[in-house]
Amino acid sequence: MRWPQRPRERASSATSSGLPDVLDRALVYLIDVVFGLFTYALLLRFVMQLLRAPFRNPVGEAVIALTDWIVRPLRKVLPGFRGVDWASLFATYLFQLLWLLAYSLVFGGGFTFGATGIAYLLVAALVALFKASLWLLLIVVVAQALLSWVAPDGPAAGLLNALTFPFLRPIRRVLPPLGGRLDLSPLVVIVIVQLLQITLVPWLESTVTRAFI
């Protein structure tokens, strides 16, 4: 059993070329678009509510429009508690699980529908969700840093500030802006996130894979 892989990641083991490879790439593109769109939209909704970010902006309105169809019904079963939107979190995990399941069904990788295979996917989805959270944090920090220079009062400024402030504030306490103006805290967060992507995420993936072989 291997970690669900995209065709380009298993190119070295491919035994065919041409049209099959093109179809593989088309399939992985469609899977990424469909499941990635809803997974990241639901994850962003959960994080925005957790951090009390404003929804009255184009991004927030788009997130609500994309996710209301699943979050609202789930809230009847999983109501929020202590400021945590459990319905959004569960829906995010569900779509991440379906994303990995789609890879396993379409591209194989040794997955079987036994107890071990299902347990593997359940745990792998948690790791993948952690990986997606790191990517989301990286994107919002980069976006906030860029907009702070070109459009500090833009319509997304309040949203990005709310999403990044809890991560930037501890660093700013240790590393205040140089000269009172040059804020290096976004760069520090970006470096930390990328280090986690390079070290911790692959280790978690390999550990989960070894545990279920």
Q: How far apart are CA 38 and CA 36, in angstroms?
A: 6
Give the pLDDT score at 23: 83
How many CA atoms, within 13 angstroms, populate the side-chain half-sphere of residue 211? 12
Tally Cβ neighbours within 10 Å of residue 86: 16
Give the pLDDT score at 25: 84
Write out residues in the chain with pLDDT < 70, as ranges. 1-20, 108-112, 180, 213
Give the pLDDT score at 148: 83
